[in-house]
């Protein structure tokens, strides 16, 4: 997963570089700046003294000393003064210059705090949005794993309106479907009751590729699967209801959720295609590249290569949903893709209901969806 949102203390992160929300003197302070200096030890300050400060929106890099990482990237966020003094651009610049420095130092993993959202008073939901947007933009054409580290509950706020809207959507669907006892069903999701699972230090929520699937089936990455038997060679089998009717050009079909097939041969092929085959077909149908797809899905390249090279790959549910979002599939096609992998959407799962909320509103921004999933203490989409 190229972009994680995790709850942790940034000084505990075992990554190549952590980013410090510093001030222009670079001589330490409170908040995350103070925590990083305390954990790194006095040598960090000694090195910072040689840097001659740093301007707002810029970044400078030092060693990490006693911290469990290689580098500390010090950046200076803007002080919030109402939003009319270029604060947004300066904050975007903090993330961009820090990521460029990390790339220049061959960092593969980087952890950010929510810059300016503490002492500098940047509204937390705006600060979060800028962080997620800027980092995800960078990740569309860079290979890196970035962690957005949230230290305390109050530091993480999605928009109030969005939170309420999702909370009532969950209530409408979850309570009705959830099989728990009455006390569980009466527990409405109220604002502020965002319980957070504290990430054990060092154990980030990490859908590492191994978690999903089987060992890599083949070396290298080729698009073609072993030649399948042509449909005509296949023993005739009765068409399932969904395929025998007008919806797919056959008399009497139910209003099938299977997208209309061009022909009987296509229909038969779609019935027994694997998840991987369906995924590759839909990427082609949408006219996007593989890279565009897995980047939009917040899936890392290595995992996508495994899926592309193993026609029987068994993905996790968050991975399937991440691709459905990247392909901007409507709900019914999302359900078909889930079914291919042996899953179904369930109203007994807050995770599923939140994803359904965004799909039903045509919002396919996976990073916005992940902000909401994090706010409701759910796993994130991607892998």
3 state SS of 275: helix
Q: Of these, 71, 151, 323, 367, which contacts ligand APR (CB under 6 A)?
A: 151
77 makes contact with ligand APR (CB under 6 A)? yes
53 makes contact with ligand APR (CB under 6 A)? no
The conformation of residue 153, written as its DSSP 8-state character, comes to G
In the block, residue with structure tokens 């009705």: 176
Nearer to ligand APR, 69 or 354 (CB): 69
For residue 67, the minimal CB distance to ligand APR (Å) is 11
For residue 21, the minimal CB distance to ligand APR (Å) is 3
Residue-wise burial string across 116-130, b where 16 or more C-beta atoms lie within 10 A, e elsewhere = bbbebebebbbbbbb
97 makes contact with ligand APR (CB under 6 A)? no
23 makes contact with ligand APR (CB under 6 A)? yes
CB atoms within 10 A of CB 354: 24
Q: Of these, 71, 95, 120, 138, which contacts ligand APR (CB under 6 A)?
A: 120
Rounded Cα distance, 28 and 192, in Å: 32
155 makes contact with ligand APR (CB under 6 A)? yes
Q: Which of 16, 33, 125, 290 is catalytic?
A: 33
Q: Of these, 45, 51, 92, 119, which contacts ligand APR (CB under 6 A)?
A: 119
Q: Of these, 2, 4, 6, 11, which contacts ligand APR (CB under 6 A)?
A: 11
Q: Of these, 33, 125, 290, 368, which contacts ligand APR (CB under 6 A)?
A: 33
57 makes contact with ligand APR (CB under 6 A)? no
**β-strand 3-7 against 71-76: which pairing, if any?**
unpaired
Judge contact between 47 and 103, C-beta under 8 A: no
3 state SS of 379: coil
Question: Alpha carbon 133 to chain centroid distance?
Answer: 12
For residue 108, the minimal CB distance to ligand APR (Å) is 20
Is residue 33 annotated as part of the catalytic site, yes or no?
A: yes
CB atoms within 10 A of CB 214: 11
Measured CA to CA in angstroms, residue 235 lies from 48, 250, 301, 315, 360 at distances of 73, 20, 38, 29, 39
Q: Of these, 31, 123, 245, 249, which contacts ligand APR (CB under 6 A)?
A: 31
Binding residues (CB under 6 A) for ligand APR: these are: 9-11, 21-23, 29-35, 77, 113-120, 149, 151-152, 155
Catalytic residues: 33
């Amino acid at each position: 997963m190229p972009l994680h949102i995790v709850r942790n203390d940034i000084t505990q992160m075992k990554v190549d570089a952590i980013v410090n929300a510093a001030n222009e003197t670079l001589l330490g302070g409170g908040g995350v700046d103070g925590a990083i200096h305390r954990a790194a030890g006095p040598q960090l300050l000694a090195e910072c003294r040689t840097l001659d400060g740093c301007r707002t929106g810029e970044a400078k890099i030092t060693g990490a000393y006693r911290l469990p990482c290689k580098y500390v990237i010090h950046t200076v966020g803007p002080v919030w003064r109402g939003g009319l003094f270029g604060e947004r651009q300066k904050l975007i610049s903090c993330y961009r210059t820090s990521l460029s420095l990390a790339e220049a130092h061959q960092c593969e993993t980087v952890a950010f705090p929510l810059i300016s959202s503490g002492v500098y008073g940047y509204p937390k939901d705006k600060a979060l949005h800028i962080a997620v947007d800027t980092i995800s933009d960078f990740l569309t054409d860079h290979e890196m794993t970035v962690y957005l580290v949230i230290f305390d509950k109050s530091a993480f706020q999605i928009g109030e309106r969005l939170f309420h809207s999702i909370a009532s959507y969950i209530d409408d669907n979850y309570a009705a479907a959830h099989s728990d006892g009455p006390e569980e069903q009466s527990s409405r999701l109220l604002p502020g009751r965002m319980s957070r699972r504290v990430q054990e230090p060092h154990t980030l929520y990490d859908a590492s590729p191994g978690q999903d699937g089987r060992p890599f089936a083949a070396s290298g990455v080729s698009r073609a699967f072993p030649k399948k038997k042509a449909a005509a060679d296949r023993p005739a089998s009765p068409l399932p209801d969904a395929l025998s009717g007008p919806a797919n050009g056959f008399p009497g079909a139910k209003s099938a959720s299977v997208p209309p097939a061009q022909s009987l041969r296509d229909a038969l092929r779609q019935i027994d295609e694997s998840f991987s085959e369906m995924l590759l077909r839909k990427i082609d149908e949408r006219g996007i590249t593989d890279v565009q797809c897995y980047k939009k899905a917040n899936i890392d390249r290595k995992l996508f290569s495994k899926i592309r090279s193993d026609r029987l790959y068994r993905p996790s549910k968050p991975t399937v949903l991440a691709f459905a979002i990247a392909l901007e599939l409507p709900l019914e096609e999302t359900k078909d893709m889930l079914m291919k992998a042996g899953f179904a959407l369930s109203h007994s799962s807050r995770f599923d209901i939140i994803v359904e909320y965004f799909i039903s509103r045509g919002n396919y921004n996976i990073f916005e969806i992940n902000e909401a999933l994090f706010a409701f203490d759910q796993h994130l989409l991607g892998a």
